[in-house]
Amino acid sequence: MLLDMVMLSTGMRESFRELLLSRGFELRLAPKGTLPFDTDATIPGVSAITNVLRRNPDIREISPVMGASIHIPAGNRDVSGTALGIDPSVQGDYELLAGHDVTSADAMVVNDNMLRRLGVHLGDTINVATGYDPQTRTYSGQRRLVITGRVKFIYGASEQSSGAMRRETLEAMSAPERRDRASLFMLKVRKGADAERVRDWVETQLPNVTAISIATAIAQVDARLSYFRQLAIILGAVSLFVGFLLVTTLVTVSVNERAGEIAVMRAIGVSKAHVVQQIVIEGVAISVAGAVLGLGLGLVTARYLNTILSAFPGLPMAIDFFLFQPRAAWSALGLLVASGIGAGVYPAWRAASLPIAESLRREAIA
């Protein structure tokens, strides 16, 4: 449990950081006061913003992304999902698993959920709309697109049905007021450049956007998910305390059973410090043995809990709540060894300090 809690307290943050950095985009621009895709708000003037950003030599890649809801008729059903409008040459939202990317205006790539729900295959043509009126069952902004690829969306939730097309295609399908807009810009900075400085520069130059670096994104996630960290710290402390009490009890019982043996050790000239050392080593050995057994059990439990927590609606599939890191395992082991030492010291010192003659007399009577 201690390992799980150490993994939980650091796992989300590390997993989120890895996710954000997975395609090398260090900055994200969202409409002022929002987080990426947190609301339906969009940033107007994509071309103008792109021109401004290109003035900064520290920005090496600009990827505007448009997000929209889509509707696809499948027989007499309406299948809804989300679509991203991207530039395939600089996109960082998905990985192509099979087929081709959206190299033409009538191409679309989709994830497995979408393929399954539509019952279609690569190469099939589908009608995709950006609007749907359920009362009249009429579609608007409709366009026929060929499914050219099967993809995995990096930031997608497990239950999400998603697709991606060229940004100009999605713009053409959308209402005129949504043209030349983006939900998000993703930026890569030049190697060696300070991302925080670039972020400050962007916010100065573009007052209608919020620039989010990896550090600020993690800080925001930390603030939103502080409940998990607090829970992890509390449960970790409880499990450590229970472990401490357990080892203390085991060592105390063992020491009491061997009071005569310890008294004889002292009688034949073994120093108090060596007696304490031996008993503390036993406490540490119990802790380490428990840690080794607990490591396997903790990893299995973490995997199970991670599956449950990762299925929370709206969370990116790639986020791990319990991320195994050697550092977490070493931290848990270090804490257990420290608690083993702490748990052994008192009973050991007490046993080694008992009057030898008195202990032997009691043993003889017993």
The residues binding other proteins (CB under 8 A) are: 260-261, 264-272, 274, 355-357, 360-361, 363-364
In whole angstroms, how close is the CB of 255 to other proteins at the nearest point? 14
* Cβ-based nearer residue to other proteins, 26 or 282: 282
In whole angstroms, how close is the CB of 280 to other proteins at the nearest point? 16
Backbone angles phi, psi at 106, to 5 degrees: -105, 20
CA–CA distance, 203 with 208 (Å, rounded to integer): 8
In whole angstroms, how close is the CB of 363 to other proteins at the nearest point? 7
Reduce the DSSP state of residue 207 to 3 states and report it: coil
In whole angstroms, how close is the CB of 351 to other proteins at the nearest point? 14
In whole angstroms, how close is the CB of 276 to other proteins at the nearest point? 13
* Cβ-based nearer residue to other proteins, 177 or 257: 257
CA–CA distance, 66 with 171 (Å, rounded to integer): 8
Containing 9, the helix (H) or strand (E) segment is helix 2-21
* Cβ-based nearer residue to other proteins, 220 or 256: 256
* Cβ-based nearer residue to other proteins, 274 or 327: 274
Residue pointed to by tokens 């010291």:
345
Residue 350 vs residues 63, 69, 152, 255, 287: alpha-carbon distances, Å: 68, 71, 62, 9, 20
* Cβ-based nearer residue to other proteins, 77 or 274: 274
Q: Which of 103, 67, 68 is nearest to 87 (CA)?
A: 103
* Cβ-based nearer residue to other proteins, 54 or 361: 361
Three-state SS letters, 135-169: CCCEEECCEEEEEEEEEEECCCECCCCEEEEEHHH
* Cβ-based nearer residue to other proteins, 160 or 254: 254
CA–CA distance, 120 with 232 (Å, rounded to integer): 44
* Cβ-based nearer residue to other proteins, 8 or 284: 284
* Cβ-based nearer residue to other proteins, 104 or 254: 254
Residue 341 vs residues 280, 282, 348: alpha-carbon distances, Å: 6, 9, 10
In whole angstroms, how close is the CB of 308 to other proteins at the nearest point? 44
Compute and round to an integer the Cα radius of gyration of the chain.
30
Q: What would the two tokens of residue 156 be? A: 């997608």
Give the contacts of 337 (CB within 8 A, at least 6 positions apart). Answer: 284, 287, 288, 291
CA–CA distance, 71 with 130 (Å, rounded to integer): 6
Q: What would the two tokens of residue 196 be? A: 């925080």
Burial (CB < 10 A; 0-12, 13-18, 19+), residue 65, is: buried
Q: Give the HSE-up count for residue 327: Cα atoms under 13 Å, Cβ half-sphere.
A: 7
